[in-house]
Amino acid sequence: MPIITLTTDFGTRNPDVGYLKGRILQQIPQANLVDISHDLLPFDTDEAVYIVKNALKSFPPRSIHLIGLDSETHTENYPVLAVAGEHFFLSNDNGILPAAFDEISFKIYRLAFKKPDVFMNEHLSAIQKILKGVAPEKIGIPTENYKKIKLSKPSLRYDEKNRKVSMITPKVIYNDNYGNAVFNLKQEEFEEWRANRKFHIDLDRYNRLDKISDFYNDINERPLESAAGSIFAHFNHFGYFEIYVYKSNIQTGGADTLLRLRKNSYINIMFE
């Protein structure tokens, strides 16, 4: 059965996801549909790239990924097919795919469309052709004239004397289901700018950290339950900097509510 993943900003409280799935199964009844997320923040490219880049790479070769963010096709947002890492991606020319493929090679093909459409008619037609073995260059027109976007980057302050980075100011790009705050700071960037120096992390006026845990349960308190509600930092399994409240949930509150580290919030990491 062909694997088709679905990543959209349609939400789960309206009929759009069900309608899209029904149309796919009418045309491809053997499809194995896999929901990645339907709760992407509409038109938020940082969040979309974070999900697409990290969730989809673990699927088997020749998986097909349908991405419905800013999904209405028109002359300035035309449908595209991208081929990267033995996977097929279908989206619109909104810059999300090239940004998600920043570490791998890819090719993009422009798909023809007849009229504006929000439910991805041309994308579904392309999926059927892919499953029939039609070559990408016969499905669409190869193009390098695709939209490119700049993702947010941490702000840097430099020491005037030694020109080393003295402070990093990263931004929250995603809050997960636990309320953890994920920032636009990768581990390799942090280590480069840190240059083996001591540091501290200023979360707000009252909370400061001077240690980054190696993993979620890498804490000193025993038993672990005694650490519930304490604040920690680590780099998550995708390599992004993350602030979390240990054993938090929607009722007790996470970093997003207790520390007000919601999307687009900032913290400071100071080097000594």
Check residue 205 and give its pLDDT: 85
Residue 170 vs residue 253, higher pLDDT: 170
* pLDDT on residue 115: 76
Instruction: Please check whether residues 115 and 23 belong to one and the same domain.
Output: yes
pLDDT in tens, 239-260: 999 999 988 877 788 999 999 9
Q: Is residue 149 part of a domain?
A: no
Mean pLDDT of the chain: 91
Which residue is associated with the tokens 């349960």? 217
> Per-residue pLDDT tens for 174-208?
999 899 999 999 999 999 999 999 999 999 888 99
Question: What is the mean pLDDT of the segment spanning 225-250?
Answer: 87
What is the number of domains present in the chain? 2
Residues 27 and 123 reside in one and the same domain: yes
CATH number at residue 47: 3.40.50.10790
Angle of CA points 242, 243, 249, to nearest 5°:
110
CATH number at residue 207: 2.40.30.90
Which pLDDT does position 226 carry in this prediction? 64
pLDDT-derived band at 73, boundaries 50, 70, 90: confident
